Amino acid sequence: MITFEGAAKFYPDGTVAVAHLDLTVETGKTTVFVGPSGSGKTTSLRMINRMVEPTGGTIRVDGADIRDQNPAQLRRSIGYVIQQAGLFPHRTVLDNIATVPLLLGWRRSRARARALELMDLVGLEPAQAKRYPHQLSGGQQQRVGVARALAADPPILLMDEPFSAVDPVVRTSLQDELIRLQQELHKTIVFVTHDIDEAVRLGDRIAVFRPGGELAQYDAPERLLAEPVDAFVESFIGYDRGVRRLSFFPASGLSLREDVVFDDEDRVERAQTLVAGENEPWALVVDAERMPKGWVSAEQLDRAPSGVPLGSLDLAPYGHTFDVGADSLRAALDAAVLSPAGRAVGVDEEGRVVGVVSQNDLGAAIWSVSE
C-alpha cells in the first residue's frame, strides 16, 4: 500500500506542482492518475520513488516513510516505465532488461535467464534479445521497457504515460498485455495518462487531478463515469461518459431473438411468413454451422420469387458481432450501431450466432442500467 499524507511539491519559482495530496494506492491493484497537462500527475508519481523530493507531507510504502530509505535502494525495489521506454541505446534488449538484476549483484547467467523469461512474458521473441533498441518498433520498445521494470520482480510498478508514443492499434494491444500481465502478477501499479479511455480500461481506481495539483476525484471507473463530483471532472471525462459506462455491464443479460435467424438453405417463404407476422424489417441468415452470413430485409423477401433458398439472395453484410458471454453492453450497442439492420448479432465464443438483439430490447437494457 502506498499512502500520500498531505504530500506536496512546491518549486522555488512559486509553482505548485502538487498542492496537498491525500490518497491511498491499494496493494495489488492498478491505480491511474489522470488529468490535464501540468496537473501534477508525474510529480506525484515520481515522489513515490524519490525522483522528486516532496516539499511537504509524508509518503509511505507499506507503512514505512520513504524519507527513511536510501533513494537508490528504493528505486531498485520499484519498477519504473516511461514514455518511449527510455532504453539504453547502446545495450542489447537482453542487457537492457537485465539492468536492475545486475545492479542488485545477480550473476550474469541468472540475470540473462531472467531477462529471457521476461521477454516471453511480455510477448517478445527470443530472436530479438540481441537487437538494439533502435532495431525495434515503438511497441516492442515499450514491451522491453515493461520487461526491464519487472526484471527484479518489484512489488510496485510506476508507469508514466508508457503507451502514449505508439499508434492507437499498438496502444490497445499493449493495454491488453498489461491487463493480462496484471491478472497474473498482481503488482501495485501506478499509471499516469492523459487519456481517460486508457484510465477506464486499466484502472481499478482512478485519481482525477485538476490544474494546480489538486485531486478532484478518486473512485472506481464505474463510479467516476456514473457520478463525476463536479463540472471539471464531468467535462474532463467527456460527453460520451454514458456510453463508456456501458462497458461495465455485461451483454449476457440481453434477451436474444432466435426466431428471426434463418438457415441459408431455408426457402424465402419460411422467412416471409415469420418476418411479416412479427412485423420485423430484417432477418439474419446463417450457414449450417450457424456462422452469420448476412441480413435480408422484409422488402427483399417480398420481392423474392418463392422457392429460392435464402442464401442465394443478395445479403447485406452482418457487420460486427458481439460475444454474448464475454462482451459488454457497449460492445452490443456498437454492433447494433454499425449494423446495416440496426440490430446486433450475438455470437458464442466460437462465433456461432446465438440470436439477434432488437433496438427495443437493447434500448430497454441500456435504460435499466442508466436509472
Ligand X SMILES: Nc1ncnc2c1ncn2[C@@H]1O[C@H](COP(=O)(O)OP(=O)(O)OP(=O)(O)O)[C@@H](O)[C@H]1O
CB 325 within 8 A of CB 299: no
Residue with smaller CB distance to ligand X, 34 or 336: 34
Residue with cell 491487463: 179
Using CB under 6 A as the binding rule, whether residue 43 contacts ligand X is answered as: yes
Of 291, 308, 301, nearest in space to 345 by CA: 291
Angle, alpha carbons 366-179-123 (nearest 5°): 135
Angle, alpha carbons 246-248-251 (nearest 5°): 70
CA distance 175 to 183: 12
CB burial of 320-359 (b: ≥16 within 10 Å; e: otherwise) equals: ebbbbeebbbbbbbbbbeebebebbbbbeeeeebbbbbbe
Using CB under 6 A as the binding rule, whether residue 194 contacts ligand X is answered as: yes
Shortest gap between Cβ of 198 and ligand X (angstroms)?
13
Instruction: At 77, list the grid cell.
Output: 525495489
Shortest gap between Cβ of 205 and ligand X (angstroms)?
18
Of the candidate spans 39-47, 72-80, 270-278, 295-303, the one that interacts with ligand X by CB under 6 A turns out to be 39-47
Using CB under 6 A as the binding rule, whether residue 13 contacts ligand X is answered as: yes
Using CB under 6 A as the binding rule, whether residue 49 contacts ligand X is answered as: no
Shortest gap between Cβ of 247 and ligand X (angstroms)?
24
**Mutual angle of helices 138-150 and 168-185, in 10-degree steps:** 20
Residue with smaller CB distance to ligand X, 8 or 129: 8
Using CB under 6 A as the binding rule, whether residue 38 contacts ligand X is answered as: yes
Of residues 4, 8, 30, 41, which one binds ligand X by CB under 6 A?
41
Residue with smaller CB distance to ligand X, 37 or 109: 37
Residue with smaller CB distance to ligand X, 34 or 119: 34
Of the candidate spans 11-19, 104-112, 289-297, 359-367, the one that interacts with ligand X by CB under 6 A turns out to be 11-19
Using CB under 6 A as the binding rule, whether residue 17 contacts ligand X is answered as: yes
Residue with smaller CB distance to ligand X, 200 or 284: 200
CA distance 154 to 85: 18
CA distance 238 to 228: 11
Using CB under 6 A as the binding rule, whether residue 210 contacts ligand X is answered as: no
Give the footprint of ligand X on this chain (CB under 6 A).
11, 13, 15, 17, 35, 37-43, 194
